[in-house]
Amino acid sequence: MKNLKICVIGLGYVGLPLARLFSTKYPTVGFDMNQKRVDGLMSGHDATLEVSDELLQDAISNHGFVCTTDLEKIRDCNFYVVAVPTPVDEDNYPDLAPLRGASETVGKVICKGDIVVYESTVYPGVTEDECLPVVERVSGLKFNVDFFAGYSPERINPGDKEHTVERIKKVTSGSTPEVADLVDNVYNSVLINGTHKAPSIKVAEASKIIENSQRDVNIAFMNELARVFNVMGIDTHDVIEAAASKWNFIKLSPGLVGGHCISVDPYYLIQKAQVYGVWPRIMMTARRLNDTMGEYVGEQVIKLMNKKGVLVKDANILILGITFKENCPDIRNTKVVDIYESLSEYTSNITVYDPWANAAHVEEEYHVPIVNTLPDDKKYDVVILAVAHKEFLALDIKSLLNDNGIVYDVKGILPRDIIDGRL
């Protein structure tokens, strides 16, 4: 395709890094419905911290990168990339509304010969069965005659500064062999580690959904082991270290499974499998187990308090961290909230300290008050390390405790001589 001009629709954790990368080689426009988000990006700052101010400002100043909410500014693009969220509803049923909305946007501007590539994580068939019919209806164009499509699943790991988008090996696919080659070449032109070209869009969709489902199942196994060994009085991390001495043991740790990928994506495959009459028992059990781990941590903390003679009612508790993972501001589907809610049944004196999270966003999303700085000279009956932010590793946690206070380590990273329990 000559004179390639790219539009990335959806400027979140996935879309912005990709758009910034494309802008180093092609004219690129970023499109988002959120004017506040667009204004922030055009001022040279990414609130998600996925793209540094230096890189973003370089893209704007030296590569002509533009972000907009105006459809008219993306009409002259010919290679559209959709990178919007794929959440689930309150019943864990896939919510395709953002994808359908983005497909309508594409349909309003796409022209003959153009290509639309989807990056959003979905179950096999969504691109061709759900999204492209919307583009056809809105545009009046016929798929694989007037316009074409591809799928290249995102592999962004929020907060990871090693596996950045340009270093990720990406899966690509296209709706015809020729388009598959073109899509593959476009991505290859900006990626350091290249691509894997899948034989079909459905294969590419399936490859992404099993990446996160596999990890969900593996972590669920570790969480189940933690429950078993805790009852037996055996340290789970010691067991894992010993088992990891074998060359083919997959070393993972128990923990909270939050975020927008591992804790959400398996539901898409679970739902679709049931449509075909298959009951995916392992994935469903893994999801149920992992979704209860926050409440389980709360129960373990209460047991430790009772054993140590610390009064549970009205206890002062400090939770370190609210984001779903360390060293990033992402609070999507964080399971630390489950710890908070479990303990708040016994006390309202809970301080949640997180220097990374936006306090207003946390309050709006979860109705949980947090602080971004640690209160001076306050002592706690319990300190729970819930997120492994680098700031917490430098804390003198023992100095934060009242006499007979308790330290619980969800992440399994604190020195053993200062903790009373860990997952």
Contact call for residues 253 and 224 (beta carbons, < 8 A): no
CA quadruple 67, 68, 74, 79: dihedral sign: positive
Helix (H) or strand (E) holding 236: helix 236-243
- Cα separation, 96 vs 218, in Å, equals 27
Spell 325-347 as b/e; 16+ CB within 10 A means b.
bbbbbbbbbbbbbbbbbbbeebb
Query: Is 261 an annotated catalytic residue?
Result: yes
DSSP-assigned letters across all residues of 121-137: ---TTHIIIIIHHHHHH
- Phi-psi category of residue 49: left, alpha or beta, with phi > 0 → left and psi -120 to 50 → alpha: left
SS3 content of the chain, % helix, strand, coil (to 5): 40, 15, 45
What are the Cα distances from residue 69, in Å, to 120, 162, 230, 358, 422?
Answer: 20, 31, 52, 24, 47
What does the alpha-carbon distance between residue 50 and residue 64 come to, in Å, rounded to a whole number?
A: 20
Question: Cα separations (Å) of 29 from 19, 118, 119, 139, 250?
Answer: 7, 16, 16, 20, 41
Handedness of CA 161, 163, 168, 171 (dihedral sign): negative
Distance CA 305, CA 327 (A): 29
Say which of 7, 77, 131, 261 is annotated catalytic: 261
Catalytic residues: 261
